[in-house]
Every structure is written in structure tokens, then in C-alpha cells.
Amino acid sequence: MGFPTGLTDEPRKSLLCKARGIGSSALRLKGVSLFRETEKAPKPEFVYSAPQVNINPFTPDSLEIQTSAGLCRRRKRPHLNDSCGEDLEGSDGEMEDEDLRPAKRITITESNMKSRYATEFHELEKIGSGEFGSVFKCVKRLDGCVYAIKRSKKPLAGSVDEQNALREVYAHAVLGQHQHVVRYYSAWAEDDHMLIQNEYCNGGSLADAIRENYRSMQYFSEPDLKDLLLQVARGLKYIHSMSLVHMDIKPSNIFISRSTVPNSAVEEGDDEDWGSKKVVYKIGDLGHVTRVSSPQVEEGDSRFLANEVLQEDYRYLPKADIFALALMVWCAAGAEPLSSNGDQWHDIRQGKLPPVPQLLSQEFIELIKLMISPDPEKRPSSVALVKHPVLLSASRKSAEQLRIELNAEKFKNALLQKELKKAQIAKAAAEERALFPDRMTTRSTTQSSRTTRLIGKKMNRSLSLTIY
């Protein structure tokens, strides 16, 4: 049976064909005229149009996504007749290795859209500014929640900063699922500027807290320093487990969330009850993130940069994060602002710590010195750091102390309950004597008689024998 009379458009397609996306939107026909089923149609030449998507280089399944999205040129096979009744160039999904070609990357300009920022968000205030751009505290009009939105300072399209901006988006998308990494929500481009919607941390940055400490001459205590070190180390452990490195750990890139973390968020193997915490530290600003293997290193702040990275020795990149973490914690301890060069810079790279205005335990100082060892192999890994006895002993001691205090309060409460019960019984007895004195006298006599009979029962009775 031919097509219905009067049908002039292209032949109807089954739902299966439509689901496969075969049509003018995905395939372009060259030199093919309309024909009836009884007529022999010329072989159509199909030109495949690949979807325009970016491939995230930080995901382990990048090639798989690239393949499944049809971003690789398929090997040509003889023409086959498709089950939908259309002649298609056959493809069984096999590809020639030499034909694997990455898709063209979408530029900032190509992904531009109307002002989503003004439409979806209400700007409250500017909360920060850095080398890349400015950060604004905003309320999303739809859900009423507060977010931090980072906007590039200058247009990125075609600039050297465009790749760095995309790298930050890629890293946020991959790493935004940990309690010690700032959560990522979305990113888009407007007017050739990149905008990134992230979690809002209501405690500001660690750099803000350190500056306030300098002004007030009050510094992080040793338990607080250990807590800071342990939390950020857990964030680095997560990043390193993804075969990535941060490469820009410093106070301004650590953000503070002053809220409790539910007990369900406790990591397996952690001894600490995170439900009792009031301050959570989160790693942010992922613009320098790179792979451990085949890295593309963009050097971060020179004040926190390990010497081997400066010498372009990239064999121990995770240990460079450990080096920067140690110096960041030392700044929180009250050390003077670090220099970008000079004698102090070289002394630190030789394992010498600058003085701090407080007394710290020798075991904690030795741990910090180990983390800045000139030999990166001697520095502890993030995995070893979160299990280090200096850090875990403090958390265990704190938890044990809380348990001791809780048990003491329970014991005091039990004693008070006992005393209260005694007082209530005595009060009830006194009130009854005052209201019913006669009854109390009768009750007293009865009780005395019962006591006498009770005593009599326990006495030896005399035996008498009567002989008839």
C-alpha cells in the first residue's frame, strides 16, 4: 500500500523512529525526492549532526559519554534497510580507534542566554571579591533560599581566562557532593561573563576570621586548630580520592558554615559526633583544580606554594595540598602574614615555622613541621592525616569528656529525684495527720496491737499436758 493520496510532506514515521531522533533535526537528506513505496528510491546520503555539549575532563567516564552522545565518527558500513521503512546508512555502534574525535567545545559566547541572574535571583549584597570575579549573596525568587553567585569581573569569551572558568565549573560539578566542599548548583553565561551558583556559607571565609583575630589579639586555640585541620583534611581526602588536586589551599578559599551537621552525614569510620559541631569548614574556589595524572598546573598563591611545584616537579601534587594546608592552619594559630618571597619564604621551605603568639603542644607542632617537610614523600597523605593520632586523640578526648559530664548529670538527676520523692511522702503524711488526728490515733493503736501479736507469734509458747 502506498502513502495516502495528496500527502506531500515527508513520509510519516513510527514512534520508534521519532524516539530515535531520526529526522530533519538530526539527519540532513541530500538530493532525495519524495517517492511512493512502489517506486525505487535513490540511496539517501545522511550527514550526522553531533549534539553540542561540553565533555567534563574531570569525570572518569568522559570517553563513554563522548561515545554515547554520538560525538565520535562512526565507521561506515553498507546501506541497510531500517525497520522503520527508511534506507539508512547502517551502523552497529562500532568505531574505528583512529576516528575518535572529541567534540568541539562550546565557548562562552555560544552558551550565552538572557539574564537569568536578574530573572531568577534577587541580589542582597556583595560579599567578596577576588582575582576571578565578585561573589554576591542572592535569594532565588522561586525557592526563597540564599545562594552565593560568583560572577567573572570581565568578559571571558576568547580570553585566556575562559578555560580556567570552565575548569572551575567542571571541578564544582564533580566535587560538589561532600560536606567539606562548597556545594555546587549550576553555572551559566551572560554577556560573555561566567556565573556560578554555589552554596552560601553564612560564616564568611577563614581569611575573614583570621583578620578579625589579628585585630582582637585572640587566636584559634589548639583544639580549634586541630578541628580546622581535621575538617579540611577530610575535604582534601575526598578531592584526592577523585584523582584530583586543589592546588590553591589558603584561608580565603576555606569557607565557614555556622550550622550543625546531622548525624546521618557522619562519614564511615569517623569517631566524632558531627551532630554536635557548630562550625563546618568547606573548601571552595576550585579554579586551580587539576588531575593528578597528566596535570595542567596553574600555580596558586606563592605564599602557600610548595617548592617542588615551583620547580615544576609534579610527581607529588597531593602533597602540595598538604603543604598549603599546614601553612593555612599556622596562619590561624596567629603567625604573622606570610611573605611571597624573601628569607621567611625560604626558611619555611626548609621546614622552619615562623613563631606564633601562643603555647602549643609539641606533638601538634611536630605534625605541622612534618606537613611542610622539604621532602614531599615524608609529608602525610590526606588519608593518613585524618587518622593521625594527634588529631583523633583530641576528638576522642572531647567525646569522652562529654560522656563523663553526661553521666555525672544523670547521677545528680537521679539523686534529686530520690530526694524529691522522700519529701513528697513526708509532706503527704503531715497533711493527713493535720486533717484527721483521731484516725491517725486509731491507726497508731491498731498498728501497735499488730506489732504485739506479731511479736507473740515469734515467742516460744508453753506446753501443758492434761492426763485424764
Among 273, 187, 295, 290, residue whose Cα is nearest residue 239: 290
How far is residue 337's CA from residue 330's CA, in Å, rounded to a whole number?
10
Which one of the listed residues 248, 270, 321, 343 is annotated catalytic? Answer: 248
What is the C-alpha to C-alpha distance for residues 67 and 24, in angstroms, rounded to an integer?
22
- 227 among annotated binding-site residues: no
Residue 351 known to bind ligand: no
User: What cell was used for 460?
Assistant: 516460744
DSSP code per residue over 411-456:
HHHHHHHHHHHHHHHHHHHHHHHHH-HHHHHHHHHHHHHHHHHHHH
Is 127 annotated in a binding site? The answer is: yes
Q: Any binding-site annotation on 208?
A: no
Instruction: Find out whether 135 is annotated in a ligand binding site.
Output: yes
Q: Any catalytic annotation for residue 248?
A: yes
Is there a binding annotation on residue 132? yes
Residue 452: C-alpha distances to residues 75, 445, 455, 458, 461 (Å): 114, 11, 5, 10, 15
Q: 404 labelled as ligand-binding? A: no
**Residue 429 to residue 384: CA distance in whole angstroms:** 67
Q: How far apart are CA 86 and CA 44, in angstroms?
A: 9
Q: Cell triple for residue 419?
A: 530526694
**161 annotated ligand binder:** no
DSSP 98: G
130 is in an annotated binding site: yes
The set of residues, in sequence order, having a beta carbon less than 8 Å from that of 327 and lying 6+ positions away, is: 303, 304, 338, 348, 372
For residue 200, the number of C-alpha atoms closer than 13 Å in the C-beta half-sphere is 18
88 φ/ψ sector (left φ>0, alpha ψ -120 to 50, else beta): beta
* 273: number of Cβ within 10 Å: 14
Q: Is 398 annotated as a binding residue?
A: no
In angstroms, rounded to a whole number, what is the distance separating the alpha carbons of residues 63 and 55? 8
- The owner of cell 578531592 is 239
| Residues flagged as binding site for Mg(2+) | 253, 285
Instruction: Give the residue numbers marked as catalytic.
Output: 248
| Residues flagged as binding site for ATP | 127-135, 150
| Residues flagged as binding site | 127-135, 150, 253, 285
